[in-house]
Chains A and B, each alone.
Chain A
Amino acid sequence: MRPARLTVAAASVAAALTVATGCSQKSTGGDDAIRVAASDSACEVSKTEFPAGKVQIDVENKGSKVTEVYVLFPDARIVTERENIGPGTKASITAEIKAGDYEIVCKPGMKGDGIAQKVKATGAQGAAEEKRSPEADAAVTAYRAYVVAQAEETLPKAQAFVDAVKAGDVEAAKKAYAPSRIGWERTEPVAESFGDIDPKVDVREDGLEAGQDPAKDWTGWHRLEKSLWAENKIDDNDKKLADTLIADLNEWRKKVGEAEITPTSIANGAKELLDEVATGKVTGEEERYSHTDLVDFKANVEGAQKAYELLKPIAEKNDPELSKQLDTQFAALNTLLDKYRADQTSYEFTSYDKVGEAERKELSDGVNALAEPLSKLAAAVAK
């Protein structure tokens, strides 16, 4: 995964609701807006009850520190957020909010837990969902089944990895490492939408937040990756970390069925997966010790392709040219990836440190060729 700040943005993309931030021209009208007066010590909300649907939140930062404002579900998942609201400036956030209880949170200085206000969206449930087409419903149902299946298939593989670590068997653990991550990498944007699980299981050392201590606070796959490849040993702490990893992944499996999923979030999730490839895998940053980046790469592409294929009936109708382009580019990138494995049914890919600069450039060009049209899929399915 990428550093925590980016994860927050990713979470909002994968969240249930169609989120639009930006200019006032597109707003639903100033009178209905919720006004938030943020200062260094307060977060005043002009109303605590409002009708569900498209909601506009006008924020004014009257304090001396840069602030950020979140709308959160009761379990702290992010509905929408706006960062970097400077002192003395205003910002508008619009979001599609379903009926239910929420919190609006201001974070002066963009640090800490912030100042929370309980709010309620009233009225009919799920207006946005009711308007969905049968194709869209089918895609959402099938994608939900896919993410659940990925989590369920991943658990035994993760268990095998954890067992090897706990047995102190470095070689067996190295072998089990990359396969244990495939299901996660295929569905990562959904996992990221739960906010706290991703930083626990998939953070890299440089992704820790200020004040966190790598010795104490760094958990998950990549900490174990460092032990196995950089230090080539397993100590007692690693064995404890293995227990924590499997506990966190079990938590993920439990939550994944309840994930908020819409056609737009599936499409944006597919794009997010390619973004992960472009920023973390192509550079070799993600698996800097094990160099198994191409396994993650393949899994990200597979996850994106699955999302696209479920949406394809809608995309084909709304934008046939785009869907033709996506078919071509998925095929091209898969062909390119196949150059790096001898057996097309296995996930044994060339170690990324053996992939030369020119080959990395070719992979990067392939990712750009796919990711650019893929960024238009959400608009095509939302038409």
Chain B
Amino acid sequence: MNLLSFLSRRGTAPVARERLQILLAHERTAFGRSDLVAVLREEILAVIAKHVAIDKEKVKVTMERGDAVSTLGVDIELPDNKVARLASA
């Protein structure tokens, strides 16, 4: 009880501030400040879909931001027979 009253006397605002700072730092990298990841994903898929039939559900796009470099990963699963047909053509 003593401990609780001690904590509440410190105030809840600093906790709110800290939670927001962490959360928003995370969300801003996840969503980005634009739709860059979404746009890249659509355009890359459109180019590949011209040549190979791809399953849009089997595509993973990831963006990792580091201090110096950020990487964009596009992971596309190609169906075997389609690749084979493309190679023989």
Q: Do A and B bind each other?
A: no
Residues of B within 8 A of A (CB): none
Q: Residues on A close to B: CB < 8 A?
A: none
